[in-house]
Amino acid sequence: MSAPTKRRVVIRVKRFDPDTGRIWWQEYEVEVDRYQSLATVLQRIREEVDPTLAFQAGCRFGVCGACAVKVNGIPRLACQTLVLNEAGDEGVVTVEPLDFFPVVRDLVVDRRFIDGAFRKARAWLEPGPEPLEDGFRIEPALQKKLWKLDKCIVCGVCFSVCPLLDAGLDYPGPAAIAKLVRFSMDPRDALRDARLEDASEWIWRCLRCGLCALHCPYSIQTPGAVAEARRRLIEKRVGRPSDIRHVEAIVESVKRLGRMNEKRVFIETAGFARALREAIVLARKVGLPRPPERVSGEVLELLRGDEA
């Protein structure tokens, strides 16, 4: 068997000294083979080259989430990132601390926000009445749905890419929301729908941009969980009336035209008086949008197919 391919690469690390406030880039040239992860290489650098380099790593199996960093600008787990896959033709891998979190030193960040977010969202099971003798029964389909939201390893990646947190808005973060929705579906939980009602502002505030799901190491679909939570809130008419009207207006517009009529959606969301005031201002500055064109009857039939 041939030996693993080896190559010399440069690990370019963004460093930070809290004592002086200095921020700088430092490069380490190392030889790696195709099986070595970034976590392993950083450990080698600290043990063999520079003992002052600070970073975190734990399980090295993608379970603990401690080693999350930005690699070539993308947040990911260092232990699940093969260095040679990221080196490219230039043989350089840039490593930075996660965004959003305060940097403690070098690649180590302060993740206490996550603990507070989970407490804020009450992201744990609130036991209900004593179970029956044979316990609570969960249908396999529901168990599968719960498990998809249960795989979080609290690595912090979703927090680091969330635009709501970056903007400083009141929001507990994607992982906390996913857990909140997960427990609201658990038949053993005493709160259930009350969880969603208490967190309705957060659920409606989510942009559903998909960045959290895109970068999550386990592809947890928080946007899908938010959509399910909104559906349940709409059924119970819980939330700001404008939020509920907005969703319903979009659905009706698509059913009628096959696409969204922005003018009609805004009128039904904001009310005629406000829409008229803002339309006058917009008409003076940029003009009004053209009426939307209808799509073909075949497309409308597909869009309305679930009502048949």
194-213, pLDDT tens digit by residue? 899 899 889 988 989 999 99
> Tell me, what's the pLDDT at 3?
46
Question: Tokens for 245?
Answer: 């009207």
Query: In this predicted structure, which of 49-53, 64-68, 261-265 has the lowest mean pLDDT?
Result: 261-265
Query: Which has the closest alpha carbon to 65: 176, 149, 156, 177?
Result: 156
* Residue whose structure tokens are 């179970």: 131
> Tell me, what's the pLDDT at 308?
45
Task: Please give the Cα distance from 159 to 113 (Å, whole number).
Answer: 9
> Tell me, what's the pLDDT at 32?
96
Task: Judge whether residue 42 has pLDDT over 90.
Answer: yes
What global pTM score does this model have? Answer: 0.81
> Tell me, what's the pLDDT at 1?
45
> Tell me, what's the pLDDT at 55?
96
Percent of the chain with pLDDT over 70: 85
Three-state secondary structure of the chain? CCCCCEEEEEEEEEEEECCCCEEEEEEEEEEEECCCEHHHHHHHHHHHHCCCCCCCCCCCCCCCCCCEEEECCEEEEHHHCEHHHHHCCCCEEEEECCCCCCEEECCEECCHHHHHHHHHCCCCCCECCCCCCCCCCCCHHHHHHHHHCCCCCCCCHHHHHCHHHHCCCCCCCHHHHHHHHHHHCCCCECCCHHHHHHCHHHHHHCCCCCHHHHHCCCCCCHHHHHHHHHHHHHHCCCCCHHHHHHHHHHHHHHHHHCCCCHHHHHHHHHCHHHHHHHHHHHHHHCCCCCCCCCCCHHHHHHHCHHHC
Task: Please give the Cα distance from 182 to 167 (Å, whole number).
Answer: 26
Task: Judge whether residue 172 has pLDDT over 90.
Answer: yes
Question: Tokens for 32?
Answer: 């790696």
* Residue whose structure tokens are 């959003």: 100
Q: How many CB atoms lie within 10 A of CB 210?
A: 13
Q: What is the pLDDT of residues 213-260, one digit of tens each?
A: 999 999 999 999 999 999 898 888 777 677 777 778 877 877 777 776
> Tell me, what's the pLDDT at 275?
67
Task: Judge whether residue 178 has pLDDT over 90.
Answer: yes
User: Average model confidence (pLDDT) for the chain?
Assistant: 87
> Tell me, what's the pLDDT at 253?
78
> Tell me, what's the pLDDT at 234?
86
* Residue whose structure tokens are 């009529």: 261
> Tell me, what's the pLDDT at 254?
74
Question: Tokens for 100?
Answer: 């959003």
> Tell me, what's the pLDDT at 132?
64
Task: Please give the Cα distance from 278 to 276 (Å, whole number).
Answer: 6
Residues 24-33 have a mean pLDDT of 97
Q: What is the pLDDT of residues 59-94, one digit of tens each?
A: 999 999 999 999 999 999 999 999 999 999 999 999
What domains are there in the chain, each with its CATH number?
A: 6-109 (3.10.20.30), 112-235 (1.10.1060.10), 241-307 (no CATH)
> Could you tell me if residue 66 is left (phi over 0), alpha (psi between -120 and 50 degrees) or otherwise beta?
alpha
> Tell me, what's the pLDDT at 248?
81
Task: Judge whether residue 306 has pLDDT over 60.
Answer: no
Cα 135–136–142 angle (5° rounding)? 150
Render the burial of 44-67: b for 16+ CB within 10 Å, e for the rest: bbbeeeeeebbbbbeebebebbbb
Task: Please give the Cα distance from 308 to 301 (Å, whole number).
Answer: 9
